[in-house]
Chains A and B, each alone.
Chain A
Amino acid sequence: MPRRALLLKLLSAAILFGAWEVAGRIPVSYAFPTFIDSMRALLEMFADGTMIAAYAETLKPLAVGIAISAVLGIAIGLWVGLSSVFDWLFSPIFVVMQAAPLAALIPLLVLAYGIGLTSKVLVVCIMAMPVIVLNTSGAVRNTPESLKEMGRSFLASELSIILRIIIPAASPVIFAGLRLGISAGFIGAILAELKITPTGVGDIITFSRSIADYPSMYAAIFSIILLAVLFLNLLEKVETVLFEGNQRGYVSD
């Protein structure tokens, strides 16, 4: 079964990249390179160190922002889910944050926090945190009543009920929120580099476009997507290790 899942994944990648290659060869647009050209540009940029230097720059706001969003997001989510007062206080903020047109708000962030790391981290957080908070609080609120009663009747303390019952029971939805939040965080990191100051991967994208080096531009976009996919897969593995029985057999691999 895992073999078949892997084969299917490879097949879907082959179809996607094949379609990309064909679209590049037609070409659908002068500004759309072929898959092979893009991969060649990607390898070249890795070989001469451009890409590595770029990621050293991009990963800073990304890693800091995602770490803050995950830790703080889950903590606030738990708090909001467990207490109706904090639900009233915090939920609206995150609903507004999630709905806000972030690109339009970036100039305000720059005014307040400058063009440095702080603003970029904030963009990542604004993208990533709301869905993590809202998923966590929703899942915590929906913990099956009978599981909580089970905990109480077997003499679990309040803290044990939170740690041993509520969090594991909410974990599938918390992880779903983390997946959505982290992919939004990746978008935020690139958005920040495009809209605030061109650094790192955002710089490669902007610069390559300005000199019409489209293979390099698409190579940079491809690399960030690839990184996001790899990271999300890693997250799924972590979830499987932590809460094995929760996957109930329908998670793919």
Chain B
Amino acid sequence: MSQIEKLIMQPDPAALESAVSVRHISKNYGPVEALRDLSLEFPRGQLTSLLGPSGCGKTTLLKIIAGLLEPTSGEIEVNGRKVTGPGPDRAFVFQDFALMPWANVIRNVGFGLEMRGVPTSEREAIAERYIRQVGLAGFEKSYPHELSGGMRQRVGLARALAVDAEVLLMDEPFSAVDEQTRRKFQEDLLGLVQNENKTFIFVTHSIEEAVYVSDQIAILLPRPSRVHEIIRPSSFRNKGVDNIRRDPEYLDIVDQIWASLRSYVE
């Protein structure tokens, strides 16, 4: 990589405060070792991608952070508190959207608030605000089957934003939507990271997507999974969404990641 990176240095990762700490996590499914002694820090207010070939355990790691899966050993800390299960400090965006088909948009978006016991009128007001924020105003009463794939994921995103968790966990959120919608999502995500003071953990298998949206990319290699490398792009983040894809550093990092992943893809 170029010297530019050294000139516009971001603060040392070790100096950044971590919102989420993953310490020595192992996960076995019977005799199969999915994750082995994996440690990783997620800086507050930034977006960290978990990138790797399929079967590298990135979704497993995300679900362990979410508290949906129990690690075999090791521990997770969110804001210094040990994770024992799902909590109000984390919200999840699902790959297959996981919308309730029998509920309309406003009820889907308000689901997390409903489970927290927020009264109906307040819940609907909050849900409406986030529906507008993700650009679905006017679709409050629509049902999921009446929406396109991209719109469904906007509902999933609004549901996760509505509970106002500090950490947003996104499991390949854009993999089930078409290419053009995905690009729009990626641009919107950059805006979201900038405007909301939240920590994003983003699982993807797309190298370009990871480099485009991330402040920090953790490359995971499979069998058993471990962190191979952490990359922090530095020079193109402030040049505007239109210039990222032709920035030399962006292209270099994409190539560099492909070089390290190539041998693991059959």
Contact = CB atoms under 8 A, between A and B. Distances in A.
Contacts of A248: 101, 145
B102 interface: yes
Interface string A139-179: 00000101101111111110010000100110100000000
B144 A154 contact: no
B100 A154 contact: no
Contacts of B85: 152
B260 to A, nearest CB: 31
A155 B88 contact: yes
Given A146-B96, A245-B144, A248-B145, A152 B102 contact: no
Interface residues of B, number: 29
A36 to B, nearest CB: 45
Contact of A154 (B63, B91, B102, B145): B91
Contacts of B95: 146
Contacts of B111: 150, 154
Interface string B86-125: 1110111011101011111000000110011000000000
A113 interface: no
A190 B111 CA distance: 46
Contact of A149 (B98, B145, B163): B98
Given A146-B95, A147-B100, 9 more contacts: A144-B98, A153-B66, A153-B92, A154-B111, A154-B159, A169-B102, A244-B143, A245-B104, A245-B143
B67 interface: yes
Given A154-B115, A156-B115, A246 B163 contact: no
A249 interface: yes
B145 A249 contact: yes
Interface residues of A, number: 23
B100 A149 contact: no
Contact of B112 (A155, A157, A245): A155
A193 B103 CA distance: 44
Interface string B54-78: 0000000001001110000000000
A13 B66 CA distance: 56
B18 to A, nearest CB: 21
Contacts of A168: 100, 102-103
A146 B92 CA distance: 11
A243 interface: yes
A210 to B, nearest CB: 51
A179 to B, nearest CB: 18
A147 B102 CA distance: 12
A100 to B, nearest CB: 35
Contact of B92 (A150, A169, A243): A150
